Amino acid sequence: QKEVEQDPGPLSVPEGAIVSLNCTYSNSAFQYFMWYRQYSRKGPELLMYTYSSGNKEDGRFTAQVDKSSKYISLFIRDSQPSDSATYLCAMGFGNEKLTFGTGTRLTIIP
C-alpha cells in the first residue's frame, strides 16, 4: 500500500461545475497538508497549505483535512478552463521531505 493514494484520473468536468479532488494516506503522523497545481512543463505551484484537521478557504478553493479518516480534499468552485492542470496532494511533518500523491489530471470543458 502506498503511503499516499490519489486517483490519477483523468477527470473531466464542464465549466462552472464543482470539482472534488481527494487523497487518502496511511501515516497518522503527517501534520502538514498541501495541494499543488502543475501545468504542463511547469513546476508545481502551491495552492493550499493546511496544518492539522479542518477547512481552509481561499477564493474558489477549499481544502479539507480529516485526520481521523486520513483523508484530505480540495474543492474547486465555479471551475474555469484555466483550472485544467494536474493537481498533486502532498503531506509531511516538518522541515523534511514531503510525500506526494501521484497527481490527478483535471480538464475543465468549456
Output DSSP code: residue 43: -
Q: Which of residues 76-95 bind another protein (CB under 8 A)?
A: 88, 90, 92-95
Which residue, 54, 78, 79, is CA-closest to 67? 54
In a 3-state reduction of DSSP, which class is residue 81? helix
In the complex, what is the shortest distance from the CB of residue 93 to another protein, in angstroms, rounded to a whole number? 8
98 sits near another protein (criterion: CB under 8 A): yes
Which residues, 6+ apart, have CB-to-CB distance to 69 below 8 Å? 24
> How many positions of this chain bind another protein (CB under 8 A)?
26
Nearer to another protein, 43 or 110 (CB): 43
Integer Cα distance of 65 and 23 in angstroms? 10
DSSP code, position 33 = E
Compare residues 14 and 43 and give the one whose CB is closer to another protein: 43
Q: Residues 62, 18: contact at Cβ < 8 Å?
A: no
| Binding test (CB under 8 A) with another protein, winner from 65, 100, 106, 108 | 100
Q: Which of residues 9-48 bind another protein (CB under 8 A)?
A: 31-32, 34, 36, 41-46
Interaction site with another protein (CB under 8 A): 31-32, 34, 36, 41-46, 49, 51, 88, 90, 92-98, 100-103, 105
